[in-house]
Amino acid sequence: MLTNLTPQPEDKILALMAQYRADPRPNKIDLGVGVYKNAEGLTPVMRSVKDAEHKLWEDQDSKSYVGLAGDPAFSAAMRELIFGESVNVDQVSAVATPGGTGAIRQGFELVKLADAGATVWLSDPTWPNHPSILSHLEMPQAKYRYFDAENCTVDLAGMLEDLAKVKKGDVVLLHGCCHNPTGANLHPSDFDAVIDTLNAAGAIPFVDIAYQGFGDGLDADAAFTRAIAARCPQFLVAASCSKNFGIYRERTGVLFAVSDNTENHDVTQGTMAYLNRQNFSFPPDHGARLVTMILNDDKMRRDWEEELEATRVGMLGLRMQLADALRAETGTDRFNFVGEHRGMFSRLGIPPEAVAKLREDHAIYMVGDSRINIAGLNKYSVPILAKAIAQVI
């Protein structure tokens, strides 16, 4: 049987991670996978997470199963963090999932069960795992224009034109904030036009929010999701705690399905729990419990928010430094968009040959589409990167 297997397409981000690790050059710079790193190049455990783990170790008296949907207190805390007051609690179904990717996968499966013919529309470009999971599930998918490659901004007119063509009942996947891989985000003044178009087409929004707190702040980053919650009759949201709580390997995420009435709530909630049971049974609890403890405790929450804000401001500072250095090194405004983008990533818009040269000649690793992880930089590597880019373009 196993001899029938054929190689699967490799995930480009994870392949790059392995290539970087295997590179013996001491001065190598990793701008690949979306993992936060501090100025020392480390991915620290956040102070509040340490505190919560300590308390959990002292207080937890059982590791028995929780429930197929996870701990309701986790979903409630995450619902408040993401939606604020913008949803009616009785219309929200939720399950904990293994990471944000687990939430995406469960969301797609929910779509498939509800309407196997629905096409899932993805931004062009998007996180490579979105189309990959859809292909694996053999679900119809399509792309809507999103990125203006010329100016490295959002192509709003193209986006609206494509979204207007979406069929009633199709699903439109939107990045809640900090668009991955481009770093180019909708302006708050664009939200209504996008939502009007989705509603006119009868589309179901599916928000992937994996970087809340990394862009313009916790509330600002949730603003698009909240605007959708206020105006769209039905929608899905997949959220990750990997980045904003720094608990990547704990696999902590949540899927929300929100409906315009309370009638089918029990069926929706039951279906989501059923899907968890089929795929992995009980979701991981450790990370979810830490998040719940932090969000529900004034002192830990304050500390978490402060550390997250310092992380965000640090990344923003690196962005600005890089934009300045690129202006100085290239003698042009070509890369000014780096300072306008938000979140962990920016797509530089340089050709694949330049990306390869940066890797081969300068030991600088970025994804092949020229996406860089800003958090992979520090004040010493910014000038090195800017100089190297000026040399290869």
Smallest distance, ligand LMR to C-beta of residue 277, A: 25
The rounded distance, in Å, linking the Cα atoms of 34 and 46 is: 17
Q: How many residues bind ligand LMR (CB under 6 A)?
A: 5
Provide CB contacts within 8 A for 190, sequence distance 6+. 154, 156
- C-beta separation of 123 from 175 below 8 A: yes
Closer to ligand LMR by Cβ: residue 129 or 378:
129
Smallest distance, ligand LMR to C-beta of residue 106, A: 16
Q: Using CB under 6 A as the criterion, what x/- string covers residues 80-119 for binding ligand LMR?
A: ----------------------------------------
Question: Is 127 annotated as catalytic?
Answer: yes
Q: Which of 12, 28, 33, 305 binds ligand LMR (CB under 6 A)?
A: 33
Q: For residue 337, give Cα distances in angstroms to 151, 311, 365, 376.
A: 8, 21, 20, 18
Cite the DSSP H helix spans in 84-217. 99-114, 129-136, 156-163, 191-201
Q: Using CB under 6 A as the criterion, what x/- string covers residues 180-199 for binding ligand LMR?
A: x-------------------
**Active-site residue, selected from the candidate residues 52, 96, 121, 127:** 127
Q: Which of 36, 108, 127, 304 binds ligand LMR (CB under 6 A)?
A: 127
Question: Is 243 annotated as catalytic?
Answer: yes
**Active-site residue, selected from the candidate residues 51, 208, 221, 285:** 208
Q: What is the DSSP letter of 202?
A: T
Q: Which of 44, 43, 52, 36 is nearest to 295 (CA)?
A: 52
The number of residues in the chain equals 393
Smallest distance, ligand LMR to C-beta of residue 167, A: 29
**Active-site residue, selected from the candidate residues 243, 257, 304, 323:** 243
* SS3 (DSSP) at 86: coil
Contact status: 17 vs ligand LMR (CB under 6 A): no
**Angle of CA points 291, 296, 300, to nearest 5°:** 75
Strand pairing class (345-347; 371-373): antiparallel
Smallest distance, ligand LMR to C-beta of residue 122, A: 14
Q: Which residue is nearest to ligand LMR (CB)?
A: 34
* SS3 (DSSP) at 282: coil
Smallest distance, ligand LMR to C-beta of residue 13, A: 4
The per-residue DSSP string of 330-369 comes to: HSSSTTTHHHH--SSEEE----HHHHHHHHHHH-EE--TT
Question: Is 37 annotated as catalytic?
Answer: no
Question: Is 51 annotated as catalytic?
Answer: no
**Active-site residue, selected from the candidate residues 69, 203, 210, 386:** 210
Q: For residue 160, give Cα distances in angstroms to 189, 192, 199.
A: 14, 11, 12
Smallest distance, ligand LMR to C-beta of residue 275, A: 21
CA dihedral 308, 311, 316, 322 (to 10 degrees): -160
Residues that bind ligand LMR (CB under 6 A): 13, 33-34, 127, 180
Where in the sequence numbering do the catalytic residues fall? 127, 208, 210, 243
